[in-house]
Amino acid sequence: MTLGVSKSKQSRVRGEEKPVCVNCKKKGLGCKWQSAGQFKETNTKYAETTDHISVVPSLDNNTEIEIINESPAKYLKLSSSSPDKTTEETPKSTYNEHNPQLGQSLEPGGEKKEDRQMPESMSELISPGDLDLKLACEEETSPEMFRDLNDALRSYMFSTAKTIEDIEVGPEPEFEPITELTDVKLPLPSNEQDLFQDPGTMALLCNYIMEVAPWLDMFDHDSHFGSVIPHLAHSSPALMYAILAISSRQAERRGTDISSESTTLELYQKAIHNLLPSFERLEVSTVAACVILCVLEMMSSSPSSWRKHLEGCAALFSAAGINGFTPDSICRSLFWCFARMDLSCSIIEEESPIISCENWLAPQAPGMTVTRDAVCGLFTGTSAPHPPKAAPHEMYANYAVFLGARVSELLQNESPRDPVYAKEWNDLWVELMSWETNRPAELLPLAIVEHATPFPTILYTNGPAISGNQMFHTAAIRMLLARPKASIISKSAKSVLWHARQICGISQTNDHHGCLNNALQPLWIAGRQMSHHTEHKAILDMLERIENTTGWAMRWRGEDLKEFWGIQ
């Protein structure tokens, strides 16, 4: 089949006529186009949103770029000519003379959830084959350039997913193991080999291995992100630049001297530049690059836009058949890294996960019902079709992630007034408590001091135990706060406050780098249950310490908590 943009699409994009966005078309409104962006010094406060999501102050520096008559997502320059022939098709934007932070004002303030939606069809997306690979921009650190790159990556992932689906013709295909993804060994071009001669590149690679990879390998004893994926980057320029870009962003956020905003944006641009030519085939290294770039985008944007950044990866996973029990260990690691981000996003936005929980599991035979025991068997390896070659306690920690996602689905998809809700709540509560009761020894605390102040001392010996138990307590709080009147739980069940103190105690006691940034949402949910000023100060100190250590924005949740507590 022929991939690309239809003639009508081409004339609409390349001609003088301005495109019409999907939202305006649905509402029957005229689509107004801006001629330029405008910086307004009066906009020095955070954008207010209807769902109480703050703009990240550490990213925005209390300023925002106001886009007047925001146009539809503007992909990179469209051209069917060779990359050497570039012309400017969009007006140059104006913005603050000082370089804005990467990802600043990616979307207009006050964007509502219903306005952020996935494309209804792949025909609404621009095929990467029509994207000019020579990216031109007036300023290296333009926020519009970052938005263009983000849109190009998102379009690439959706179009690649569509390409995979289009290749599957004829009878309904059986489930194919992800090991069929190609992993072509192509040497880096000579100019890419020069990367390793640059001290700055080596510093960023070292920073990735020591500081960034532990986040991504949180539940992975084999450290695929730290030990395996960097070697794949030797044959994948896109993956190499993705690794360097996320390392640069993390170093930049921590204030080190090995990176800068312009360096991060340049590396991000080169990663996408090298991704676009490969959309007709899907390689393991390509999926890895997309996941890493999604993490980078989540570090660089307002939490209210996280879902947008994750949707493209979700489409790739779905099209390629990647799930939590994929036989290929690298792809399985990529999925669970994504799944943790998906859960965090669902908690922030109070929505269901992007990938439905049933699709986190290995495909089942038609008509087969997955029971609670069967699900537990999948995570313990006793009933998995392709038992993962991972330590049992690691997959059991992933089980906690899965249960947290199921809580999100229950709270968003069912009405508490529906009689079915009470039954589903009870079933999920039983499964959640069973998770705690049946934890393997590696997930049990090594030592507990319950009466320590302001929070108990709870020491664990490994990353899966730290984050897995925090996710369990987070899920328990969310369930108890949404408990239906008809539910029946054991008298020995712990209170919301007890679970909240456990979350805080785990973060206060354990300083495992790989688990620090995963505590963002648990600490937010736990903090809302605290009333004493010493508890408030301890939580704010934890959030600040985590941001200073990892570079991942945390203080914005502290500001939200202070507003919730009613303190300045």
Q: What is the pLDDT along the chain (568 residues), one digit of tens a residue?
A: 333 333 343 443 334 444 555 555 555 655 554 433 332 333 333 333 333 322 223 333 333 323 222 322 322 222 222 333 333 333 333 223 333 333 332 233 334 444 444 444 333 443 434 434 334 333 444 556 556 666 666 666 666 666 654 323 223 333 343 334 444 344 455 555 566 667 788 999 999 999 999 989 988 888 999 999 999 998 889 999 999 999 999 999 988 888 888 889 899 889 988 887 665 667 888 899 999 999 998 887 777 778 887 888 888 888 888 899 888 889 999 999 999 999 999 998 889 999 999 899 877 544 455 677 778 878 876 665 555 555 678 999 999 999 999 999 999 987 778 888 999 999 999 999 999 999 999 999 999 998 888 999 999 999 999 999 999 999 999 999 999 987 888 888 999 999 999 999 999 999 887 788 889 999 999 999 999 999 999 999 999 999 998 888 888 889 999 999 998 7
Residue 125 lies in a domain: no
The answer on 430 and 335 residing in a single domain is no
241 and 93 housed in the same domain: no
Contact 410, 428 (CB under 8 A): yes
Q: Which residue has the tokens 């690439």?
A: 156
Give me the pLDDT at residue 244, please: 95
Domain match, 56 and 156 both: no
Give the pLDDT of residue 257: 84
CA distances to 172, 183, 321, 327, 554 from 180, in Å: 18, 9, 11, 11, 39
The structure tokens 């569509």 sit at 162
Q: For 295-316, b where at least 16 C-beta lie within 10 A, e where not — what string?
A: bbbbbbbbbbbbbbbbbbbbbb
Identify whether 405 is part of a domain. yes
Q: Are residues 416 and 560 in the same domain?
A: yes
3-state SS assignment for residue 137: coil
Q: The dihedral of CA 403, 408, 414, 419: what is its sign?
A: positive
The parent domain of residue 267 ranges over: 145-168+179-351
- Note whether residue 428 is domain-resident: yes
Residues 325 and 474 occupy one common structural domain: no
Same domain, 332 and 410: no
Let me know whether 259 and 199 are in one domain. Answer: yes
Output the six-digit token pair for 343.
């859960």
User: Is 313 in the same domain as 204?
Assistant: yes
* Domain count within the chain: 3
Q: Which two tokens stand for residue 58?
A: 């550490």
Are 474 and 521 in contact by the 8 Å Cβ rule? The answer is yes
The answer as to whether 518 is a domain residue is yes
pLDDT for res 163: 60
457-459 vs 447-449, strand pairing mode: antiparallel
